[in-house]
């Protein structure tokens, strides 16, 4: 978090977004949509402010939002939850991740994550002072391999922190590999925490398996999600974490001193979103899937080797066929000279010596068609 000279470092997302602005580039770096979410949800927040939902909400979240989270989980393939004891509303998934790790991991503990990983994971593990072990994702499909799972998760593992669907690679972990991870965690008494913020943004009709539906994870898994991605409201910072009552109680104990409570008028609005009909969730993923296809085809035409994106807001494109070795330098060159911002994949895998990670870039397709088309034009022209 702090460099050797004492200066603090901005996140790679902040850095690339600032560069995009400075160079008037199309920003396919930081993952935020450029379109508002559903009007029912936006209107409900305005209405909540006007009707006085402006003071501290209950510590675990409003009862109605907790009920909506529980109904929504049951509707989409997880076992039913007790909204009183098994659901906690948080300031985005970011706080849920931080509070869960702070609650469960002692300074001499160990957290296992996939690699590449979302940047906040390593930051929180570092703040705790715990050990960070990784399971590399391999192949064009970015899956964990059984031997790597068995090598990483062992007697010293406290928490296995998953992210599925996966940022930055767009992979969706195969159910049998999830089961293997959960079984290995169970054998060693570790808790599985699964960051599922992209749970509804899965493509090609493929099924998504939430950790709560994995047999070996029963009784030892915490599931995290957020309104940010599903309802295109990344600035609202309403997330939630669900799981066994004793684990949630431990997370509550931390959350009460991180933010205490959050987002009073957004909570009833997110409850409206979670109760939208199935068609909303299907349509949201279909729109993104079309944009994924548009961007993937454009990147391929521009000479990148493009990995399949099965979910999330992101696609990974390897610039090695363009003669690139250092993706971080190439990402900066593209912002400046081509007018397109991306994020170097290596930012999500610090210390990795994998040449394919070093030469790859992550592009976000949670943007209007015009923005994607313009960036494809710019990348083709640059080449």
Contacts with ligand PMP by CB under 6 A lie at: 31, 92-94, 118, 163, 167, 195, 197, 226, 228, 234, 237, 239
Contact between 13 and ligand GLN per CB under 6 A: yes
b (16+ CB within 10 A) / e for 39-66: eebbebbeebeeeebeeebeebbbeebb
User: Is cis: bond before 251, omega within 30 of 0?
Assistant: no
Q: Which does 13 bind (CB under 5 to 8 A by kind): ligand PMP, ligand GLN, none?
A: ligand GLN
239 contact choice in ligand PMP, ligand GLN, none (CB below 5 to 8 Å, kind-dependent): ligand PMP
Distance, in Å, from the CA atom of 339 to the CA atom of 44, rounded to the nearest integer, reads 37
Start-end of H helices in 154-277? 175-187, 227-230, 245-258, 266-274
Nearer to ligand PMP by Cβ, of 94 and 309: the residue is: 94
Residue 240: strand pairing partners: 89, 225
Query: Which positions from 243 through 262 interact with ligand GLN, judged by CB under 6 A?
Result: none
Q: Which does 90 bind (CB under 5 to 8 A by kind): ligand PMP, ligand GLN, none?
A: none
Q: How far is the CB of 180 from ligand PMP (least distance, A)?
A: 21
Q: Does the protein bind ligand GLN through residue 11 (CB under 6 A)?
A: yes
Please, which residue, 11 or 85, has the CB nearer to ligand GLN? Answer: 11
Q: Is 169 in the site for ligand GLN (CB under 6 A)?
A: no
CA–CA separation, 361 and 375 (whole Å)? 14
Which is closer to ligand PMP, CB of 109 or CB of 168? 168
Binding of residue 115 to ligand GLN (CB under 6 A):
no
Q: Among 78, 134, 143, 167, which residue sits at the site for ligand GLN (rule: CB under 6 A)? A: 167
Q: How far apart are CA 156 and CA 141, in angstroms?
A: 29
Interface pattern 192-211 for ligand GLN (x via CB under 6 A): --------------------
d(CA 227, CA 209): 19
* Rounded CA separation 116/113 (Å): 9
Binders of ligand GLN in range 16-55 (CB under 6 A) = 30-31
Whole-angstrom distance, CA of residue 379 vs CA of residue 383:
6
User: Shortest approach of ligand PMP to residue 13 CB, angstroms?
Assistant: 9
**Cβ distance 307 to 300 under 8 Å?**
no
Q: Which residue is it, tokens 């070996």?
A: 216
Q: How far, in Å, are 167, 199, 362 from residue 238 at the CA level?
A: 19, 15, 25
| Footprint on this chain of ligand GLN (rule: CB under 6 A) | 11, 13, 30-31, 167
């Amino acid at each position: 978090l702090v460099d050797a000279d004492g200066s603090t470092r901005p996140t790679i997302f902040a850095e690339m977004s600032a560069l995009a602005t400075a160079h008037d580039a199309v920003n396919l770096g930081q993952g935020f949509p450029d379109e508002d979410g559903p009007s029912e949800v936006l209107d409900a927040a305005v209405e909540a402010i006007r009707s006085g939902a402006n003071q501290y909400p209950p510590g675990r979240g409003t009862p109605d939002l907790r009920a909506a989270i529980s109904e929504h989980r049951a509707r989409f393939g997880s076992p039913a939850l007790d909204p009183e004891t098994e659901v906690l509303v948080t300031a985005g998934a970011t706080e849920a991740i931080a509070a869960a790790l702070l609650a469960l991991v002692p300074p001499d503990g160990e957290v296992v994550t996939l690699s590449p990983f979302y940047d906040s994971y390593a930051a929180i593990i570092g703040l705790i002072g715990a050990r960070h072990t990784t399971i590399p994702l391999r192949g064009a499909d970015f899956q964990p391999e059984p031997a790597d799972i068995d090598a990483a998760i062992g007697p010293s593992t406290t928490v296995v922190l998953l992210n599925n669907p996966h940022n930055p690679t767009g992979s969706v972990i195969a159910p049998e590999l999830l089961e293997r991870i959960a079984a290995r965690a169970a054998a060693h008494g570790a808790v599985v925490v699964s960051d599922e913020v992209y749970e509804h943004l899965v493509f090609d009709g493929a099924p998504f398996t939430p950790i709560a539906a994995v047999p070996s994870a029963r009784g030892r898994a915490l599931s995290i999600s957020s309104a940010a991605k599903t309802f295109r409201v990344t600035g609202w910072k309403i997330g939630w974490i669900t799981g066994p009552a004793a684990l949630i109680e431990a997370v509550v104990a931390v959350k009460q001193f991180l933010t205490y409570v959050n987002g009073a008028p957004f909570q009833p609005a997110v409850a409206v979103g979670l109760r939208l009909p199935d068609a909303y969730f299907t349509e949201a993923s279909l729109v993104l899937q079309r944009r994924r296809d548009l961007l993937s085809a454009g990147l391929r035409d521009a000479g990148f080797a493009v990995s399949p994106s099965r979910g999330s807001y992101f696609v990974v494109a390897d610039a090695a066929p363009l003669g690139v070795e250092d993706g971080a330098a190439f990402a900066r060159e593209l912002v400046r000279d081509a007018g397109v911002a991306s994020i170097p994949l290596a930012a999500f895998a610090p210390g990795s010596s994998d040449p394919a990670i070093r030469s790859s870039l992550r592009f976000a397709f949670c943007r209007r068609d015009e923005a994607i088309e313009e960036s494809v034009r710019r990348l083709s022209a640059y080449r």
